[in-house]
Amino acid sequence: MPLPLILRWPNREPAHEPLLARLQADQIVGDEPIAGAVTSGLWPGIRSPGAKGGNPDVASASREPWVDASGYLAAVQRALGNPGLLGHQHRNPEQGVPFETLELALVEARVNGGNFVLSVEPRYRKALLAGEEKALAAWSSLAQTAAWLRKHEGLLGRPTLPTLTAIVEPGYATTEIANLLFRRGGSPLLVSTANIPRPDSGRTPVLVAAGLKAVPAAAWAHAAAGATVVIDSAPEAGWSRVKEDLDRTVYGVGKGQVVAYHKRIQDPSEFALDCIDLVTHKRRAARLWNAPAAIPLATAGGLLHIIQYGSPIAGEIQARVHGLYRSATLLRPEAPPLALKLYRRGTMSEVFPPSIQRLGVVQFE
C-alpha cells in the first residue's frame, strides 16, 4: 500500500481548499502531535555561512557545503523496527528557508524508506495564500514530485549495499555515526544489535560497531570470517596486535581484523571517512564528483539515488557505483527518462547524469 502524503495545515478554511487540492494530500492534520513521528531532525538544505550577501551554497573557506540532512533518521528508525516517520518542522521566524526545501524533506525521507509530515513554515504559507509566484511554483513542484514518488515507490526504501554495514541502537552516539556515514557518501546498511546479519563471503567487508554501549558477540564472527570490524571500545584480551597508530590499533582476529579506536568517537565526520577508506575505492558502494551538495545512496537492484541539497545542478556530474552493468537510465520527477552512456571503471560503473533539481535516480541494468 502506498505511503500516505501527510500535510500539516492548521486552521484550515474553505478559502484554502483550491490550494490544498493541488497537492492531493491523503491526510491533512492540524497542530496535533502525530504518534510515532520523529521530530529531532534538521530542516534540509544548505546552511548559510551567516554573512550578508554570501553564497548560501558555501559553508567555509574550504568551499565545502554545510549540508543539513535528516533522511538518515528514517533509515535509523527502520533499522530499529520503527516506521521511519519524520515530523520535524522549521520554526525560526527570523530565518527563512527556500520554499523548495519542503519538497526536499519529503524526498530524503522517502528515498530512505520513510515518510515525512509536510509542515509548511509560516513564511511559505503566507506567500501561498497571497498567491506569490515563487511560492506557487514551489507548491506545484512539490505536488509533481509527490506524485512521482508515489508512482515510483518500488524504487525507494530498498536496502543499501552491504559493503559498509553499521550497527545502530537507540541513542545519540550510533545515530550520529550513521548520519555522517550517509553524509560522506558511504551508503551504509544499518542494522540493529538484535538483527546483525550472519557473516558472508566478503559481501560485508566493513562492519562498524562503534558508539555502542556494548559490542554484540555476533560482530566478532564477522571478523573471524574475514571482515574488518571497527570499534571504539576496549579490545578483547588475547587478540594479536598487527599495527598501532596514534588513534587506533589494528588486531588480527580469525581471517579478518578489528580496528579499535583508543577513545570514543568525537568527530563522526572524520570517522566516517576512515571507515570509507577501510572499504577501499574498489568496493565503495557509490561516489560522486562535481556535486558537493549532493548525497548518493546506492541500493539493491542497481539503483543510485542522488539527493541534491543545494541549488539545482545544471550541468553533468560524475557518478560511480559498485558493480558492472550494461546500461543506465536517469529518472527524475521533472523530466522523462534519459538513457545515459555507461563506462566500466575496474569494479565500478560510471555515468554522467545531467540536470538534477532535487532527486535523480540512476537505474542500472
What is the model's pLDDT at position 350?
Answer: 98
Taking the CA atoms of 243, 248, 251 and 255 in sequence, report the sign of the dihedral they define. negative
Q: Where are the alpha helices (DSSP H) in 187-265?
A: 217-224
Question: How many C-beta neighbours within 10 Å does residue 192 have?
Answer: 17
Nearest to residue 111, comparing CAs of 155, 151, 163? 155
C-alpha distances in angstroms, 333 versus 32, 147, 280? Answer: 31, 8, 33
Q: Which three cell numbers stand for residue 243?
A: 599495527
Reading the chain (365 residues) residue by residue, the pLDDT tens digits are 789 999 999 999 999 999 999 999 999 999 999 999 999 999 999 975 543 333 443 333 345 788 999 999 999 999 999 999 999 999 887 788 999 999 999 999 999 999 999 999 999 999 999 999 999 999 999 999 999 999 999 999 999 989 999 999 999 999 999 999 999 999 999 999 999 998 986 689 999 999 999 999 999 999 999 999 999 999 999 899 999 999 999 999 999 999 999 999 999 999 999 999 999 999 999 999 999 999 999 999 999 999 999 999 999 999 999 999 999 999 999 999 999 999 999 999 999 999 999 999 999 99
Q: What is the pLDDT of residue 59?
A: 39
Burial (CB count <10 Å: 0-12, 13-18, 19+), residue 264: exposed
